[in-house]
Structure 1
Amino acid sequence: MKKVAAALVGLAAGAVAWGLRDLPAQLGAKPSPAKVGRSARYRDGKFRNAAVTTTMPPGSASETLRELVFGKQQRKPVGRVPLVGKAPGDTSDGLHVTWYGHASALVEIDGARILLDPVWSDRCSPSQLVGPKRLHAVPQSIEEVGPVDAVVISHDHYDHLDLDTVRAIARDQDAVFVVPLGIGDHLRKWRVPEHRIVELDWDERHEVAGVTLVATAAQHFSGRGFKRDVTLWASWVIKGPRHRVYYSGDTGYFDGYARIGAEHGPFDASLIQIGAYGVGWPDIHMTPEEGVRAHRDVRGGLLIPVHWGTFNLALHDWTEPVDRVWRETKAHEVPLVVPKPGERIDVANPPTVDGWWQTLV
């Protein structure tokens, strides 16, 4: 019996060690202040939002704990989320968007292929043993996604910047990584070649495959380890010769959306964060209603909701964000599409919203 117990302990210890094997790499690298200090947003060793933001305002901690213990939210689907596999013969002409779950999406725009915040791991965590786990499988392998011209990252949180996915893309193809200031140091630590890293401050731009990528303002925060806000966060404008797309990244609602719309809009489509909101972080994640407002501010065309339905990162029902955004878009006559994970959307001819998620609650 003692030998069996010792063997089980040994197996458990080995599993933990295996799960934490990449922990030093997962935490990333601390950027040099000399590199990031050129930004007007970097002061006293940290990046700052334009407005003062708060997390865990008075009373929110007790309310969050009460909901966690006594809340009756349906935080997981009761059945399998429908997934859509890779369709043969797709071309990148026109404007198409494929949502893979959470904030990961492929934008095919005027012949270029831009991959946003790709996360293919089972957990958005520094360890694959603990942390938020997928509510549905990845609909397509990273190999099935195929070659892309650029990988765009909004910020360095684990649900947006994934070590294993970055390594796979860096190993198997030649895409350039276009990222906010400071995130390049994570990529360098992960052995992404220097010539494939482009770091931008807000309002800076980079052209790839005939498409201009512009880093624009957002209201959020950053951090992978014990240091917070030493890398920048951003939303993104994707400008092709004929089409334009806006991606919000993670953000609270702020007055910068109107400026983005005035300078870069109108857009054919916008990918807008609608989930993972709560009383503890009112300034750094939008509610669905705020997401619709931001979409209207930037003059967003077709609204494609993201940041919902894949990872449990808040205490609301897993379908609440999309139910609320559907209701709000109807009230304001905003065009909406809600793709299944893996579904490729033709922005010029989107399918009607069918409420597919409502059978899973």
Structure 2
Amino acid sequence: MLIVFALALSLLIFICFLYTRHPLFGKLPSGERLQRIQNSPNYRQGQFRNLTDKRGMTDCSHTFIELYRTFIKTIPHRHPKDIIPSVKTNLRTLNPQQDVIIWFGHSSVFMQLHGKTFLIDPVMSGKVSPLPWGTRAYRGTDIYTVDELPDIDYLLISHDHYDHLDYKTILQLKNKVKYVITGLGVGEHFEYWGYPKDILIEKDWGDRIEFDDGITIITETTHHDSRRAFDGGKNLWISFIIQSPNKKIFYTGDGGYNKHFVEIGEKYGPFDWALMENGQYDAAWHAVHCHPNEVAQATEELNARNMIPVHHSKFSLAKHPWYEPITRITEYSKSRKYRLATPMIGELVELDNDHQRFKQWWENIR
């Protein structure tokens, strides 16, 4: 029996090893790219480090509770039974002079600004897992295909987790993208997947990129991590400040609450719009994902006039009811200094329309 067990275990390990050779797992930085990473002040002891150390779970009893919740306890309403409502906007017929945002669910966002097109953390394959049976999109949320997108001037990737860097989507986008802007090291995945090196722009925290068309993109810090297989922290996670001649927009990427929101607000604010990670939170990873009350506080600290919550209502990655993030941020946003915008997936958000109103579309959905 021991021999049979050992052989079975060896076979399983071998199969796992072969599977992790699949291109979807990407490739770790090497050569000149790795040398640039090693020269970053944020890369220490063999990996990128957050500006401050911050543990997610604080004691052993908490750890045991989270293990129980994660692997044993059933969370009611974690997945919606009904179809999530959406609006199908034709992206190819938009007025190029109109500044708009269209949310695709989770953190995927299409934006048109100053006549340029942006695509942020697109996941359009309907799943966010390297495993065939992994987490699937809710019914009604995966309504856009890559073929329906116009050409993209700027593809922005905050980090390399599967719910932000989707292998299938990135392959399909290859001939539509003018520039890819991402953190140090993430370009290794893109180059491995066939993207030309000269369109890959990889930046550290605090870097500024000024384009000839009036667009400026600044890559800033967030409190998170990176990993696609087993070796994490080898490329950088970032947030974005996107500026046109008359607008300034902030996208958090993923990250836990920390003092960097105040610092970014003081250094770059005020912001016309903020796209804020709000969802897939848990005490087990409180350090790397904000809870809704922190999202509301951070939005004010950024000095944003308008806020769209993202990272919710498409995939169940955490142990909370699917509707909880959008419900809670709606409550926490009452009497705040910013205006909360809660578009349906695919709904056109007019960045110059202060009077546009949005339905509470999640109500009465089981």
TM-score, structure 1 as length reference: 0.90
- Distance in 1 (CA, whole Å) between partners of 2:266 and 2:98 is 24
Distance in 2, matches of 1:210 and 1:317, equals: 42
**Residue by residue, what CA displacement relative to the aligned partner does 1:222-259 show, whole Å, maximum 9, x if unpaired?**
11011011110011000001111100000001111112
1:24 aligns with 2:22: yes
Aligned partner of 1:66 in structure 2 is: 68
Q: How many angstroms apart in 1 are the aligned matches of 2:337 and 2:248?
A: 21
Q: Which residue of 2 aligns with 1:37?
A: 38
Q: Check whether the contact 1:73–1:315 (CA below 8 A) recurs between aligned residues.
A: no
Distance apart, 1:294 and its partner CA: 1.1
In 2, Cα distance between equivalents of 1:284 and 1:85: 32
For residues 17-166 of structure 1, what are the structure 2 equivalents within 5 Å? 24-32=22-30, 33-58=34-59, 59-68=61-70, 69-87=72-90, 89-127=93-131, 129-136=132-139, 137-166=141-170
Match of 1:352 among 349, 352, 357: 357
Q: Tell me the amino acid that sits aligned with residue 42 of structure 1.
A: Y
Equivalent residue, structure 1, for 2:285 = 281
Task: Kindly indicate whether the alpha-carbon contact (under 8 Å) linking 1:96 and 1:107 is maintained by their aligned counterparts in 2.
Answer: yes
Verify: 1:216 aligned to 2:255, yes or no: no
Between 1:50-59 and 1:116-125, the stretch displaced more is 50-59
Structure 2 equivalent of residue 338 of structure 1: 342
Q: Which letter does structure 1 place at the counterpart of 2:22?
A: P
CA contact (8 A) 1:169 1:175 kept: no
Q: Provide the C-alpha distance between the structure 2 equivalents of 1:268 and 1:317, rounded to a whole number of angstroms.
A: 30
Q: How far apart, in 2, do the equivalents of 1:315 and 1:125 lie?
A: 17
For 1:239, the equivalent position in structure 2 comes to 243
Tell me the equivalent position of 1:309: 313
In structure 1, the gaps of 5 or more residues are 1-16
Shift of 1:360: 1.1
CA contact (8 A) 1:123 1:130 kept: no
Judge conservation of contact 2:254–2:277 (CA < 8 Å) in 1.
yes
Single out whichever of 305-314 and 56-65 deviates more from structure 2: 56-65
Q: Is the 8 A contact 1:95 1:348 kept in 2?
A: yes
Question: Structure 1 residue 323 and structure 2 residue 327: aligned?
Answer: yes
The 2-side partners of 1:73 and 1:23 are apart by 37
Q: What is the DSSP-based 3-state SS (H/G/I as helix, E as strand, rest coil) of the residue aligned with 2:271?
A: coil
Q: CA deviation at 1:23?
A: 5.2
Cα shift at 1:263: 1.8
Mark the CA change 1:62 to 1:21 in structure 2 (over 3 Å): closer, same or farther: closer
Whole-Å Cα distance in 2 between the matches of residues 334 and 41 of structure 1?
A: 32
Q: Which one of the candidate residues 281, 293, 300 is aligned to 1:296?
A: 300
- The Cα of 1:93 is off from its aligned counterpart by 2.2
Over the aligned positions, Cα root-mean-square deviation in angstroms equals 1.8
Could you tell me the percent identity over the aligned residues? Answer: 30
The amino acid across from 1:67 in the alignment is R
Aligned to 2:11: none
Q: Which moved more, 1:220-229 or 1:33-42?
A: 33-42
Is 2:276–2:309's contact at 8 Å kept on the other side of the alignment?
Answer: yes
Q: C-alpha deviations, 1:311-348, integer Å up to 9, x for none? A: 11100110100111000111425301111111110022
Contact (CA 8 Å) 2:300, 2:337: kept in 1 or not? no
Q: Could you list the per-position Cα deviations for residues 23-60 of structure 1 after superposition, in whole angstroms to 9, with x for gaps in the alignment?
A: 52111111133131121100111000011022444233
* Structure 1 residue 22 displacement after superposition: 8.4
Say how many residue pairs are matched.
341
Counterpart position of 2:192: 189
**2:203 corresponding residue in structure 1:** 200
Distance in structure 1 (CA, Å) of the matches to 2:19 and 2:151: 29
Q: Deviations over 1:114-172 (max 9, x none)?
A: 11001111211113x122111134222212121110100000000000111111111x3
Partner residue, 2:268 = 264
Q: 1:205 to 1:308 in 2, by over 3 A?
A: same
1-side partners of 2:297 and 2:363: how far apart? 24
Q: Is the 8 A contact 2:226 2:234 kept in 1?
A: yes
| Unpaired segments ≥5 residues, structure 2 | 1-14
TM norm structure 2 = 0.89
1:282 CA drift (Å): 1.3
Q: 1:94 Cα shift?
A: 4.1
